[in-house]
Amino acid sequence: MTPGSRHPHGPAPQSLRSDAERNRERIIAAARKVFARDGLGASMASVAREAGVGIATMFRRFPTKEELVAAVFADRMDAYADAVAVALDDPDPWHGFVGYIETASAMQAADQGFADVLTTSFPTAKALEVRRNEAYEGMVRLIDRAKAAGRLREDFDPSDLVLIHMANAGVVNATGEAAPDAWRRVVALFIQSFEAPARGPLPASPEHDALHRAMLRTNPADPTTPEPDTTG
């Protein structure tokens, strides 16, 4: 082993053995592919099969499915947060705002697993949640800029972006590969409804806390969640 254990009773190793590291990366690559195709509902066994490793190897490296999910989607979440930063760099506030929605929605459409991640909260996956909050704060600035420019309706609320994610997840999930571009039309409709001036008042936004609770409740990888399942 590398550091820390010349003593027979030395502490746990900090880095993996070369073969283990290789397998770890194989697993992540496989999970990326499988989750993207099948959503977070994909089984650990199917990931192991795709990776060409035993089931035990998966669980040794990622003791729970949630940890695997966190490892797999770390970079997607980075890209998600980056998209906000890019949008904030756009000199045209409205163009940036629209571009951000389109980018985020496209990310959902391109990866069923990520669509699930965006509408689910993983309390134990700190890194993911940190990124999510980071993105959220950027979004608030993005919204304020677009309103200040007079292009975004005044009653637009940050939570509306969450609602779009949920709606888009519904479309992406329902259409899948059968109608892979249907989401574009839905998103375009949403964007037109956001543009100022508003055509009419809207019902109140849900409470911030309520939405958060909803995201906790809707864990597609948790059997306690009442979600679509089995039959014949």
Partner DNA sequence: TATCAATCGGATTGCCCTATCCACTTTTAG
Partner DNA sequence: CTAAAAGTGGATAGGGCAATCCGATTGATA
Q: Which amino acid is at 58?
A: M
Among positions 65, 76, 131, 132, the unique one binding its own copies when judged by CB under 8 A:
65
Among positions 5, 15, 64, 124, the unique one binding its own copies when judged by CB under 8 A:
64
Per-residue binder mask for DNA (CB under 7 A), 170-209, x = binder: ----------------------------------------
**Which span sits near its own copies by CB under 8 A: 8-16, 23-31, 137-145, 188-196?**
188-196
Q: Three-state DSSP class for 24? A: helix
For residue 193, how many other CB atoms are within 10 A of its CB? 13
Report the candidate in 211, 131, 114, 220 with the shortest Cα–Cα distance to residue 168: 114
Under the binding rule (CB under 8 A), the answer on residue 20 touching its own copies is no
| DSSP tally for the chain: helices H, then strands E | 10, 0
Beta carbon of residue 212, minimum distance to its own copies (angstroms, whole number):
8
61 interacts with, out of DNA, its own copies, none, CB within 5 to 8 A per kind = DNA
CA 144 to CA 163: how far, in whole Å?
18
Instruction: Spell out a b/e string for 161-183, using b for 16 or more CB atoms within 10 Å of the CB, else e.
Output: bbebbbbbbebbbeeeeeeeeeb
Q: Which amino acid is at 162?
A: V
5 interacts with, out of its own copies, DNA, none, CB within 5 to 8 A per kind = DNA
Q: Which residue is it, tokens 């950027």? A: 138
- Tell whether the torsion through CA atoms of 14, 17, 20 and 25 is positive or negative: positive
Per-residue binder mask for its own copies (CB under 8 A), 126-165, x = binder: ----------------------------------x--x--
Which CB sits closer to its own copies, 67 or 78? 67
Per-residue binder mask for DNA (CB under 7 A), 59-98, x = binder: xxx-xxx---------------------------------
Please give the residues from 20 up to 49 whose contact with DNA meets the rule CB under 7 A. Answer: 20, 22-23, 42-46
Under the binding rule (CB under 8 A), the answer on residue 49 touching its own copies is no
8 A C-beta contact, residue 127 and residue 121: no
CA 68 to CA 153: how far, in whole Å?
40
173 interacts with, out of DNA, its own copies, none, CB within 5 to 8 A per kind = its own copies
Among positions 197, 200, 203, 223, the unique one binding DNA when judged by CB under 7 A:
223
Cis peptide bond prior to 13, omega within 30° of 0: no
Under the binding rule (CB under 8 A), the answer on residue 204 touching its own copies is yes
